[in-house]
Amino acid sequence: DSGVTQTPKHLITATGQRVTLRCSPRSGDLSVYWYQQSLDQGLQFLIQYYNGEERAKGNILERFSAQQFPDLHSELNLSSLELGDSALYFCASSVQGEAQFFGPGTRLTVL
Amino acid sequence: GIQVEQSPPDLILQEGANSTLRCNFSDSVNNLQWFHQNPWGQLINLFYIPSGTKQNGRLSATTVATERYSLLYISSSQTTDSGVYFCAVAPRVSDNDMRFGAGTRLTVKP
């Protein structure tokens, strides 16, 4: 158990819909990262937050957004979903600049 | 951006055999980690190893940062070692956001 929790574990939805994925980092970690794992693109970095502020952006679509709340949990919002958004979404947390620990992931299926 | 290449892409072993997985990266890094993704999709931390050598049971890893590569050694492999092994690096000019290699898929046969 990495100490990072993600909900829900599975999500099935339809094209055009909006979903929210939630992540709670390990106790004491201020940095939260979101990654997407798809069959064609592999594991890709989406976005990072540090203590509530956006710190770095990767290959995140404009239809996607995220935030980190004062209690340090984070949410990834995916809107206008397309079939190609089906993937495993991981959250990771770390002490800034040190090892990242990954949550169990949320498997999103868009039908 | 930084390139991360892992080799071999696939590896099939008999139980008890040893193996070496390689990760090459194209630029200086702040962070390098090895992960094992099990059949249930979970990414398990193996090593945080931006430089030097570490050992944990049957697994060990070495990173030679000046030559931009890292090696993961698995000795006396077991069927539970099967899965995909990923190397991930954070470029030196980054906030620790990681770039993943394509992985090595390991199958250990009984």
Convert the pLDDT of each residue in B17-71 to its tens digit: 999 999 999 999 989 999 999 988 999 999 999 999 999 999 999 999 999 999 9
Contact assignment for B97 to A43 by CB distance below 8 Å:
no
- Residues in A closer than 8 angstroms to B56, CB to CB, are none
Each residue's pLDDT tens digit in chain A (111 positions)?
Answer: 889 999 999 999 999 999 999 999 999 999 999 999 998 889 999 999 999 999 999 989 999 999 999 999 999 999 999 999 999 999 999 987 789 999 999 999 999
Token pair, residue B46, equals: 């193996």
Residue in B46, B96, B105 to test binding to A, most A beta-carbons within 10 Å? B96
Could you tell me if B82 and B15 are in contact, meaning their C-beta atoms sit under 8 angstroms apart?
A: no
A2, A100, A104 member nearest B98 (Cβ) = A100
- C-alpha distances (whole Å) from A100 to each of A25, A29, A54 are 10, 10, 17
Nearest chain A residue (CA) to B29 = A97
